[in-house]
Structure 1
Amino acid sequence: MKQFEKLGIDKKFCKAIKELNIIEPTEIQQQVIPILMQNNTDLVGQAQTGTGKTAAYGLPLLHRINPTKKYVQGLILCPTRELGQQIAKQLFKFTKYSDKIFTEAVFGGAPIERQISALKRPTHIIVATPGRLIELVEKKAVDLSYVKTVILDEADEMLSMGFKKELDQILKQLDNIDNKWLFSATMPDGIKKIVNKHLSKRAVKIEVSKKSIVNKNIDHQFLICDESEKLHILLQLLNSEKGNRGIVFCKTKVAATTLAKQLNAKNITTDAIQGDLKQIERDKIMRSFRKGNMQILVATDLAARGINIDNLSFVVHYQLPDKDEYYTHRSGRTARAGNKGYSLCLITSKEIKQIRHFEKALKISFKQLRRAK
């Protein structure tokens, strides 16, 4: 608790985060919080998923809110409904012992009328997916004219989900605000363009774990097998991991749906998160997974964006991803909040060169597993 006080965090917030078992500031929190607590500034923070970014920007943001004013003062943009709800819930927990600061999460795929109604209540911070925010602004349900701080969380995910146009539009509208804070696990060219276009040239840049952009608590593994053996190996793994939960990644919607059916046929209760699902179906699956009714979730890369569930022990790459940042995001679903986990790639002999590429590009090392005889 005293360590967060030394970073400048008010005792009221420190008391709340202690109850959440947030005791030792993570590397990103140590570096970012003192900067954001002092002056108005633009900031670019690069840190992988699960390193405590929400507290790193959320606590300084809460200090900047005047609870006596009944208008929106802070805006957080994020890629998905799940992440938005998680951020809003976290901020609510941080304010347990402070003056009431009201946060509202708004997102696509849900009835807009209900969100418009909720926003009529006093709201200090809005957490939003970019598309839904623009809809609400156009309907005059949201007034951003008093916003002093805008935060882009998991900016690379928003970009890969096709939100570039919306981000440009929102940031252009908020051109004159005091604080723009961007957080991203990776820094592809698209993110660099957003930084150069919308953030100050004097923006502070913080890069955590420069030696590796992938979480150091993840044990990276691969196992070579034939394509036809993958299902059998996966079943063996799941049987050996009874009581532990994880996510299995496929490249395509068809592959994810097919694998989920194959696993269910083998009495492994699971479901597939893929892009064709309606929001109500996605919510039902995620609720079931969060409650522990399923040991694993099968997912495609884009459909899994923003899925942040603590205490996942492993990630399996049933099919290798096409992009380096996809591997970063996939593996980052495990080993969150200081826990350990492993990321296992099931590959054919032809794909060993892709593993070597990941090692070089992401500065990580893989351990080869041998099949039990």
Structure 2
Amino acid sequence: MSKQSFKELPISKETLKSLERMGFKSPTEIQAKAIPIVMEGKDLIAQAQTGTGKTAAFGIPIVEKVHPKARKIQAIVLVPTRELAIQVTKEIKDIGRNKRIFALAVYGGKSIKHQIDFLKKGKDVVVVGTPGRVKDLIERGILKLSDVKIFVLDEADRMLDMGFIEDIQFIFDQTPENKQTLMFSATMPPAIKKLAEEFLRPDYQTVRIKPEEVTVDRIKQIVYRVDRDRQFERLTESLKEHPDTKTIIFTETKKGADELAGKLRKKGFNADAIHGDFSQAKREKVLKSFRKNQLQILVATDVAARGLDIKGVDLVMNYSLPKDVESYIHRIGRTGRAGKEGTAISIMNTEEDNVLKQIQRKTNADIKVINLSDKKISSGNGSFGKKRFGKRRFTRR
């Protein structure tokens, strides 16, 4: 896709000035494809990961379509986490700076009174929030959505995973029927497609940004296959092989994140966990330490890591493989950004062979698989045993 300018898109001069001030040079693929569709008034479902520029893909049209002097909420953006609410709100404010667009983030963990006071002032025309807090404000009679023009679900797949579907349905029902609905999701499971059929108008458009084009080309991928009781040992060995490296380690559960971070600290590693059960103050403290390089290793769940804007992550590790290929691609996409190279190391056990084969088949990447177990794994070139090295190349089909 040849590079184009934001000037070629239906964007006002005021917004173009804001984008220039933000350092935006040219639209990303998701922005180039989605913005014209949204500006035409079409409903949209877009598959795009964090790091592709998706926030501006809906943030720019929101800024162009709302009227700051109306003093009514005209756009509502639902997100799964507090951090993403803050991040999306800031970006919309920055994009709308020259048009004087006011946006407010609403989420749990902060005083609801403070958020109510801002809403009563009537300056905010865009609200970005987590479903629970948005629903709470609606039920209190403070947040009124009868003038909403644009309804956005960001990270829709994770919101469904977190059990927000009933809250989302409640909020959706408070908005006008003739609104424009946009859904952005990193993955496209059947539940998301079903939600699109329910929420979006029949003539909705679909945009897909292939995850492998976003992430894997610049990432060195290594998989260690070990017996389950040796996973932690192999993890610590890998960390020692990458000293002083800014690292995110992914786990499947909140409990697993806490336990792993604790075990790493006992081994002398500078590590801490982050997940949805943390208070807002604790989450912000941990993230601030990680961003400032005072914390070297962040142990996170998929949900906690969604939407986090953390630069300079050199190493991503999977402590066991994720259950689906899309999550794997999303995880490793935390490194290798901004044109830089990165490394992704996965510590899998011998019961995860089928997941490994799916990842190998779908990523179309150069993955180095190192078997450290006595149990053999079948491959296209036969099988290999303990401490044999298997490097496989996968060509695009």
TM over 0.5: yes
Letter in 2 for 1:31: K
Choose 1 or 2 for highest CA Rg. Answer: 2
Relative to the length of structure 1, the TM-score reads 0.89
2:250 and 2:296 map into 1 onto residues whose CA distance is 14
* CA deviation after TM superposition for structure 1 residue 161, in Å: 0.7
1:331 and 1:164 map into 2 onto residues whose CA distance is 27
1:215 and 1:14 map into 2 onto residues whose CA distance is 31
3-state SS of paired residue (1:21): coil
Of 60-69 and 238-247, more deviation after overlay is shown by: 238-247
Of 145-154 and 248-257, more deviation after overlay is shown by: 248-257
2:7 and 2:171 map into 1 onto residues whose CA distance is 34
* CA deviation after TM superposition for structure 1 residue 265, in Å: 2.5
Letter in 2 for 1:45: A
Letter in 1 for 2:102: F
Consecutive aligned runs of 4 or more in structure 1 exceeding 6 Å deviation: 210-214, 370-373
* CA deviation after TM superposition for structure 1 residue 138, in Å: 0.9
1:370 and 1:11 map into 2 onto residues whose CA distance is 57
Label 1:279 to 1:51 Cα distance change in 2 as closer, same or farther (>3 A). same
Q: Is the 8 A contact 1:78 1:130 kept in 2?
A: yes
Letter in 2 for 1:13: T
* CA deviation after TM superposition for structure 1 residue 132, in Å: 0.8
3-state SS of paired residue (1:351): helix
Q: Is the 8 A contact 2:147 2:175 kept in 1?
A: no
Label 1:78 to 1:232 Cα distance change in 2 as closer, same or farther (>3 A). same
Residues 103-122 of structure 1 mapped to structure 2, 5 A cutoff? 103-121=103-121, 122=123
Matching residue of 1:14? 16
Q: Is the 8 A contact 2:323 2:355 kept in 1?
A: no
Higher relative contact order (CA 8 A, sep 6+): 1
Letter in 1 for 2:100: K
- Describe the superposition over 1:85-140 as per-residue Cα deviations: whole angstroms up to 9, x where unpaired: 001111222234x1211010001232211211122231011001111111101111
Residues 148-227 of structure 1 mapped to structure 2, 5 A cutoff? 148-209=149-210, 216-227=217-228
1:139 and 1:215 map into 2 onto residues whose CA distance is 46
Residues 137-156 of structure 1 mapped to structure 2, 5 A cutoff? 137-156=138-157
Label 1:139 to 1:88 Cα distance change in 2 as closer, same or farther (>3 A). same
* CA deviation after TM superposition for structure 1 residue 189, in Å: 1.6
> Aligned-residue CA RMSD in angstroms?
2.7
Is residue 99 of structure 1 aligned with residue 94 of structure 2? no
Matching residue of 2:378? none
Gaps of 5+ in 2: 373-386, 389-397
* CA deviation after TM superposition for structure 1 residue 275, in Å: 4.2
2:256 and 2:153 map into 1 onto residues whose CA distance is 32
Letter in 1 for 2:190: D
1:196 and 1:249 map into 2 onto residues whose CA distance is 32
Label 1:13 to 1:337 Cα distance change in 2 as closer, same or farther (>3 A). farther
Is residue 28 of structure 1 aligned with residue 30 of structure 2? yes
Q: Is the 8 A contact 2:74 2:147 kept in 1?
A: yes
Matching residue of 1:69? 70
3-state SS of paired residue (2:62): helix
2:108 and 2:24 map into 1 onto residues whose CA distance is 31
3-state SS of paired residue (1:120): helix
3-state SS of paired residue (1:167): helix
Matching residue of 1:84? 85
Q: Percent identity?
A: 37
